[in-house]
Structure 1
Amino acid sequence: MSESPVLRIGAREAAARLNLLAGHTPVPMLARVLRARGAAAVVITGDTHDWLDTPHAQGWLARPRSGPADHAARFEAALAQGWVAADAAVLARLPDHASAADLPVLSCGDRRIPWVPPRDARPDAGVYAIVDSAARVRACAEAGARLVQLRIKAERDHPALVPELREALRAAQAHGATLVVNDHWRSALAIGAPALHLGQEDWLSLDETERAAIAAAQALGLQLGLSSHSLWELCRARGAAPAMVACGPVWPTLTKAMPWVPQGLDNLAWWVRMAGLPVVAIGGILAPEQLAQAAATGAATACVVRGLGDDPHATLPVWQAAWREGRSRSRITPPAWPHPTLAPDRPAPPASPAPLPA
């Protein structure tokens, strides 16, 4: 069987290519076999859900409406413009002049999920401080930060972390700040932390039961934040109904090695328009003017890491003033379409294989 590098076809055609009866084989299995036979990526289209099986993402892409009639041509055009297949699948379903009400959502596995509508709230959360110790949480909270993330690079949920997390929580609460625990989700739930942030790889590494535990905590008030670097990650984040979604890296960053092309202010403004959630600007914000520019996109908050220096009591007022000044500027107009954030020939974190029916 001769295959195109990237296939985007309906379930009936997919079955026919494999000499199978339509409707007798689960769609995810059809896609997996087509990839095993040589297709670089497969998108199987449907009335309300498309199944993605690509090098970067797998899952059901659920949408509120059919979208543009020329979606097949839009998919090919997106590939020609340098988008990877997972992102092209999203763009194919967005109409001209799209809004957050048009953004699809992406599942984490082979279970179909309902489309998640946008939320209208665009809060102003000010400067988002990211630190690595309870002592620095206290310093940032004392200096007036309302959002402080504790990012400790250690074995996930190691018992030795709990005293530090509890101390950080007490420090944040004493000064009216919200503590966001990065990565260590079980420990965050155990101590009653008000907020949790997970990267996409961390989110994908959880099983259904673990994601259900976090969803139950969300129903009781936990604020979940998720990272996003691409269109498919934005769709996956929206599907988890988080309190905030991070867009990054806005500028080149040395904090961690990444394959992503910087978002720039144009993509950040597009995220703000399309996410349907409060957006966190993150990555490469090293100068107050950059923070002001991020604020002018309408982002709900923006992260400062290295810029906090040794003494947040001295540095945070400068960053907070820049944020307020940026929020007072005219809003940066988002582009009609974003630019690609991953070149087709550059690797990204691999998609977690979706569980398939036996």
Structure 2
Amino acid sequence: MHRRPRHLPAAAGCRLHGADALGRAHRLGPGPAQPLGPAHAACAAAAGGADRGCRHRRALACGAGDGAGLRCGAAQLRRRAVAGPRAHGARLRACGAGRAPGLGVGADRPAGHGRGQHAGGWAALRAVSAVASPPIAWTVAGSDSGGGAGLQADLRAFDAFDVHGCSAVAALTAQHSRAVERIEAVSPQMLQSQLAALAADLPPRVVKTGMLGSATNVEVVARCIDALRAAHPLSGVALVVDPVLGASSGASFADDAVLRAVREHLLPRATLVTPNRHEAARLLGLPVLADAAAVEHAARALQAQGPRAVAITGGDAATAAQAADSEDYLLAPQAEGWLALPRVDTPHHHGSGCTYASAAAAALAHGFAEAEAVVLAKMATHHALRHGYAAGSGAGPVHARAGFARDTGNLPSLRLSGAPCSFAPLAQPDMGLYAIVDDAGWVYRMLEAGVRTVQLRIKDAGAHELRHEIRRAVAAARAAGAQLFVNDHWQFALQEGAYGVHLGQEDLQAADLPRIAAAGLRLGVSTHAYWEVCRAWALRPSYIACGPIHATQSKAMPWIAQGEDNLAYWCGLLPLPVVAIGGMDVPRTRRARACGAAGVAVMSAITAAADPQRAAQALLRAAAQAGPRHPGPPRARPTLA
């Protein structure tokens, strides 16, 4: 059972302005038991209860005392000289009609942030925005005066993902690399004012929370999430909860009241929660999570409290110092299992938890599903640990930076149950045309046309007929010196001595993979998204198939076409042969090879052709005529429809 979010009284107002500008399907909103009903009070408007002439929908009335921390009106702003470089507030200009800065977003508003720097006014700003408009994510957390964790780490992680990061300070800390000297929560009114200012002009796709400082501030954030989701019901607003309960130096960041508020108000609203093992135990009222089974049980217990997905990180495990791998347990609607990477031996790990949660939030902001977001967070944090540096005499900060997703050393394995195994490499790794056919007669025809890698894909046949077809195909391929893969039916492939087996993701758990590997059969695995690539990568197969590259009618799938950019990305990342599949024809085959594909899997363009043998030969020529190499993007784009 999912827990319904506890109703919070409308203690302070919330005014969310602007139309839903996110423009994508609502998949990142609350869990199944989290309604997008009437908004509670949340991001209180910085000005008091008056409407201030705003023409946009008011979610709730503002309290008379809200926003006491932002009383600077237009007249005062006009009197204040703007000093310092552009990076230090040079864009702040007076707001009209006495509004607090940034809260008026109507089309007819007379002034606003940065307008004076663009000769064309708002039209010029809109033109600039059309060129490049990164997604927006908020971090609501504590400020680290030493610059290693908290908001500072969050914003570095957002930047590594090309996400525009906004920050609301929930707590101030006096700390350095060795200790936290003092913590002070900001007032709920000040937090409300910050959130209202952001909501007025910079609505987020994702909100990430860290240290919030007080139970009241937790409630303020929960109300704001409700209001944002009510204002943007189509696109939704994801919530990533990093339950920062203490520092690595030992300082406690949360008393019992804060812990209770996180359980009651944030977990039921969360899209993803990212505790370490110690934090997961505290959230559940347990002493320790002693082993893997306890971690898996804890993830399910946390998910039962409302989050769509849970990632329990393993950097703080009791045996971490001795463990060769850093393992996180992922429980998401799309996938579950242990994400593993070699542990980074470094003293500079300050801010790793903040980086992990913020990286996941940034991935969600780009439209990735929860499981993919956690994979990307693992990659980004591993890269950040590898580039940590000293900044003071204690533990230095991790350094989140762009380029992490193109480094194979950052790609985790998503471990399946059972003993680990790996498979023999291909005798002919440059496969070229990879024909997929549905009977032994078609295998003969492809071999006669010159194809040297063929997949036998039979879906509807009895056991006797199936075994007979596999036996005939194996004999023909062996005589031609070709590589024959049998789709799905690994038992018959073993019995008949096939060269290899191709398995889909749904078949990996049921197959006896150690037995297949021990028999010397090669293995190909289908993949469509990051978490599936990680699952395949854990097996070290003979090749990895990526698809669908183009739209195809041969198989119903929940995936959108990956496109050639994604194909080039996977070919550049994976140190294994990559097979492109889905919607291939002659020109697309040529381009797929330019992306780096070792093989191009083709079905309909051959079997539905008027002259299949001639079609196969044309595809063979195309596969041998690759043009200049496609460099690929910095990361793959989302593919789950």
Range of TM-score over shorter length = 0.7 to 0.9
In the TM superposition, what is the alpha-carbon distance from 1:175 to its structure 2 partner?
1.7
Structure scoring higher RCO (CA < 8 A, sep ≥ 6) equals: 1
What residue is the counterpart of 1:325 in the other structure?
Answer: 625
- Residue 441 of structure 2 aligns with an amino acid whose one-letter code is A
- Does structure 2 retain, via aligned residues, the 8 Å contact 1:179–1:193? yes
Structure 2: runs of 5 or more not aligned:
1-262, 316-325, 384-401
Counterpart in the other structure of 2:538 = 239
Partners of 1:39 and 1:122 in 2: CA distance: 46
Distance (whole Å) between structure 1 residues aligned to residue 369 and residue 468 of structure 2: 43
TM-superposed CA distance for 1:142, in Å, is 1.1
| Equivalent residue in structure 1 for 2:518, among 209, 216, 225 | 216
Contact conserved, 2:500 with 2:522, CA < 8 A, in 1? yes
1:64 is the counterpart of 2:339: no
Aligned residue for 2:604?
A: 306
Deviation of the 1:65 alpha carbon:
4.2
1:104 maps onto 2:409 in alignment: no
The aligned residue for residue 190 of structure 1 is: 495
What's the TM-score once normalised by structure 1's chain length?
Answer: 0.86
2:507 maps to what in 1?
202
User: In structure 1, the residue corresponding to 2:639 is in which secondary structure?
Assistant: coil
Distance 1:112 1:164, change over 3 A: closer
Partner SS, residue 269 of structure 1 = helix
Name the aligned partner's letter for residue 257 of structure 1.
Answer: A
Question: What corresponds to 1:346 in structure 2?
Answer: none
Larger mean CA deviation between 191-200 and 167-176 belongs to 167-176
What is the CA distance between 1:90 and its match in structure 2?
1.1
Q: Report the Cα distance in structure 2 between the residues aligned to 1:24 and 1:212, rounded to whole angstroms.
A: 29
CA contact (8 A) 1:226 1:244 kept: yes
Amino acid in structure 1 at the alignment position of 2:274: R
Structure 1's unaligned 5+ residue stretches are: 344-358
Number of equivalences: 329
1:23 is displaced (CA, Å) by: 2.6
- Once the two structures are overlaid, the 10-residue window that deviates more, 299-308 or 270-279, is 270-279
The alignment yields a C-alpha RMSD, in angstroms, of 2.3
Question: Which SS does the other structure have where 1:170 is aligned?
Answer: helix
- Aligned twin of 1:350: none
Residue 171 of structure 2 corresponds to none
Match in the other structure for 2:287: 21
The one of 441, 449, 453 aligned to 1:147? 453
What is the match of residue 56 of structure 2?
A: none
Percent identity of the aligned residues?
Answer: 43
> Over residues 194-253 of structure 1, what are the superposed CA-to-partner deviations in whole Å (9 max), with x where a residue is unaligned?
1110000111334xxx23222322xxx311000000000000001111100000000011
Residues in 2 aligned to 1:171 and 1:134: alpha-carbon distance in whole angstroms:
8
How big is the shift at 1:263?
Answer: 0.7
| 2:331 counterpart of 1:53 | yes
Question: For residues 273-352 of structure 1, what are the structure 2 equivalents within 5 Å?
Answer: 273-285=572-584, 287-308=585-606, 309=609, 311-326=611-626, 329-343=627-641
2:75 maps to 1:75: no
For the residues of structure 1 that align with 2:612 and 2:500, how far apart are their CA atoms?
Answer: 21
Provide TM-score, normalisation by structure 2. Answer: 0.49
Q: What's the CA shift for 1:113?
A: 6.1
What is the CA-CA distance between 1:312 and the residue it aligns to? 3.3
Compared CA separation, residues 273 and 248, structure 1 to 2 (3 A): same
Match of 2:475 in 1: 170
Instruction: Check whether the contact 1:60–1:112 (CA below 8 A) recurs between aligned residues.
Output: no
2:554 counterpart SS class: coil
Kindly state the Cα deviation for residue 174 of structure 1 after the two structures are TM-superposed.
1.9
Cα distance in structure 2, aligned partners of 1:159 and 1:13: 56
Match for residue 38 of structure 1 among 303, 306, 324? 306
Q: Look up the equivalent residue of 1:200 and give its one-letter code.
A: Q
Q: Flag the 1:310–1:202 CA change in 2: closer, same or farther, 3 A.
A: farther
